[in-house]
Chain A
Amino acid sequence: MSAPTETRSGVRSEATFLAAGAETLRNGYVLTGRNMRHVARIPGRITTGLVQPIMFVVLFAFVFGGSLGGEDYRRFLMAGIFAQSMVFNASFTTVGLANDLQKGIVERFRSLPMSPLAVILGRTTSDMVVGVATLVVTALCGLLVGWRVEGSLGDAVLAFGVLVLFGFAMSWVGATVGVFARTVEVAQSAGLIWLFPLSLISTAFVSAENMPTPLREFAAWNPVSAVATSVRDLLGNPTPASLPQPDTWSLQHPTLYAVLSSLAVLAVFMPLVLARYRRLTRG
């Protein structure tokens, strides 16, 4: 059937591969707008997203900071908190997607001539926007506790680029948990549980030197460590001598490893989410 590009109803019928990609991005953008309205309207959503980083800064800076080196530790710490915030942001993707799946709205989306990829893309993109807001609030808190950008502006931009890419990748992991969780309740607990080991078994806040060997190895190759180290390097925040980094390749080339591991996470989890989403909504 030869289909015109625009039918009577204004619906695009069959499109080329490229046009389909553009359409998916467009629909992803439209759905991002929809999700941002949710962020603004669901009580507590913004508060959680913004209070959480403030809490992390205050807790780590003053609870651990005192014994770990005070002012020096606080300068060191902020990169770790940025990385951790990007990990925790993924829990919003999990819950948001599980919520949509549990309600009829996904059924409606499925009946539209629209790629399922757009639905998840809209979700991960809106969570990325929230992630950026989180980074801004975190940075403001950091400034209050004595952290400063000590490198060049270009490097600082690169640092936040690394964080956003990493946050986007983590969001797809969150989406995977969301599509596998059977209910919103499961999504709420399962969406949180993996965040703690991932962000804490790392060199984001402490040195891995005194960890048992398996944890030390995990920490050395954990993307969270690479992201934190990369950001620290790019922002010119020094690592106190008391907190040596492991000398693995991953942490000697932290920016490269952070970018590569983020891309690898996307390459694995994007198809996984999509496959599961398709199966789930096909009944």
Chain B
Amino acid sequence: MAEPLTAPARPALRATGLRKRFGDHQVLDGVDLEVAPGSVHALLGPNGAGKTTTVRIVCGLLRADEGRAEIAGHDVVAHSRAARGALGLSGQYAAVDEHLTGFENLHLLGRLYGMSRKRAAARADELLERFRLDDVAGRRSGLYSGGMRRRLDLAGALVARPQVVVLDEPTTGLDPRSRLDMWAVIEDLLVDGVAVLLTTQYLEEADRLADLITVIDRGVVIARGSAEELKERVQGATLALQVRDGSGLDPAARALEAVGVGTPSVDHRTGRASVSTDRGPEVMADLLAHLSRDEVELVDLGLHRSSLDDVFLALTGHGAEAPKDEEETG
């Protein structure tokens, strides 16, 4: 069983200066990352930002053109066996063997990690119970729901009690209920002092789980900090409106610019526009005065504390899920 962890001074996972090019596309252009034991570091970015490429390099599944990564102090290239021994990876699509039962999946992994049959069986039982899969342990995993499969996949990543767990979009495609379940499971990992690197395109997920968030876009780190710190970067609050018809959008944007801070972001498709503000609700009266002068009709108007979505928009100039490059480059 797990002996108590002596917290090492060094980060459990460290990547420095990762660069990777596919053809003439620079997917990563100097990404640094560190994850401390017992913490969650979220790598946040839109599709194609380079999240999966980063994860694959950190896990030793892909060779970086430049830079290095180490897990528990082992270089993932030079000492790949030792590094993999300290690593648990749970990928974007659940890597479970659908012809095997939940128990057999975990037992197989335990055996491949070098455990005896008995030890692998005990570990499998333990994990199945912890992930609330004990009821279906004897059923083929091909018959599991999406959420159950993800949990089984995550359990598989934990079989050898890794010091570092890498979760690549663990809740993509899950229904809200399963997503909440998954979050609870991930939070539970930290009790063991595991270092978790999590990629996500859901800002809410990063907000809820991560101690530290790194925002990457087009292969470059564009911001890093706690959720609170990132939110503070977008000043105070966001003033947002939606116009009734498109012709009102330009005057509305001018009005927002006049009362807010910085350049408003405008979405012509939905007729929405927003701007940061450091003022209280009285800003709305000012705005309405501008709008009535220009005879702009609104459908919606609101003032809210900045969310990570606003941060994302402010940092990248586009929303978190805006560019839908379905076949991500890495």
Task: Check if B112 sits within 8 Å of A107, measured CB to CB.
Answer: no
| A contact residues, total (Cβ < 8 Å) | 34
Q: Is B119 an interface residue (CB 8 A)?
A: yes
* Segment with Cβ contacts to B, from A6-14, A124-132, A182-190, A266-274: A6-14
Given contacts A111-B59, A111-B89, contact A14 B82 (CB under 8 A): yes
Q: Is the CB of B112 within 8 A of A30?
A: yes
Bound CA span A239–B172, Å = 65
CB-based contact A11/B114 at 8 Å: yes
Which residues of A sit under 8 angstroms from B109, Cβ to Cβ? 108, 112
Which of B95, B111, B330 lies in contact with A30, CB distance below 8 A? Answer: B111
Question: For A38, what are the chain B residues with a Cβ–Cβ distance below 8 Å?
Answer: 99
Contact residues on B (Cβ < 8 Å of other chain), bracket: 35 or more
Given A41-B99, A41-B140, A105-B97, A112 and B113 contact (CB-CB distance below 8 Å): yes
A113 touches B84 (CB 8 A): yes
Tell me which of B61, B112, B119 has the highest count of chain A C-beta atoms within 10 A of its own C-beta: B112
CB contact under 8 A between A10 and B84, given known A1-B73, A104-B91, A104-B93: no
- Give every chain B residue within 8 A of A105 (Cβ-Cβ): 95-97
From B63, B95, B104, contact of A108 by CB (8 A):
B95
- Using Cβ atoms and an 8 Å threshold, which residues of chain B touch A10? 113-115, 119, 160-161
From B61, B79, B97, B330, A281 is in contact (CB under 8 Å) with B61
User: Do the beta carbons of B3 and A1 come within 8 Å of each other?
Assistant: no
- Residue from A3, A30, A42 within 8 A of B82 (CB atoms): A3
Residues in A whose Cβ lies below 8 Å from that of B89: 107-108, 111
Residues of A within 8 A of B153 (CB): 108
Q: Which listed residue, A13, A109, A283, touches B81 by the CB 8 Å rule?
A: A13
Report Cα–Cα, A107/B80, bound state, in Å. Answer: 15
State the Cβ distance, A108 to closest chain B Cβ, in Å. Answer: 4
Contact A9 to B61, CB < 8 A, known contacts A30-B111, A37-B99: no
Contacts of A31 in B (CB 8 A): 112
Binary contact readout A1-33 vs B (1 if CB under 8 angstroms, 0 otherwise): 101000111111110000000010001001100
Q: Does A110 contact B (CB under 8 A)?
A: yes
* Residue in B63, B82, B88 whose beta carbon sits within 8 Å of that of A282 in the complex: B63
| Complex contact B93–A8 (CB within 8 A) | no
In the bound complex, what is the Cα–Cα distance between A13 and B162 (angstroms)?
13
A104 B95 Cβ-Cβ under 8 A: yes
Chain A positions within 8 Å of B73 at CB level: 1
Q: How far, in Å, is A171 (CB) from chain B's closest CB?
A: 20
Closest approach, in angstroms, between the C-beta of B89 and any C-beta of chain A?
A: 4
Assess A283 versus B330: contact at CB under 8 Å? Given A30-B108, A108-B91, A112-B84.
yes
13 additional A-B pairs beyond A34-B100, A34-B108, A108-B109, beta carbons within 8 Å, are A8-B3, A9-B85, A9-B160, A11-B86, A11-B113, A14-B81, A27-B112, A31-B112, A42-B99, A107-B95, A113-B81, A113-B84, A283-B330
Closest 6 pairs between A and B when the two form their complex, measured CB to CB: A104-B95, A11-B85, A108-B95, A111-B89, A113-B84, A9-B161
What are 22 A-B pairs at a CB distance below 8 A? A1-B74, A8-B3, A9-B161, A11-B114, A12-B114, A13-B82, A14-B79, A30-B112, A103-B95, A104-B93, A104-B94, A105-B95, A107-B61, A107-B89, A108-B91, A108-B95, A108-B156, A110-B61, A111-B60, A112-B84, A283-B56, A283-B330
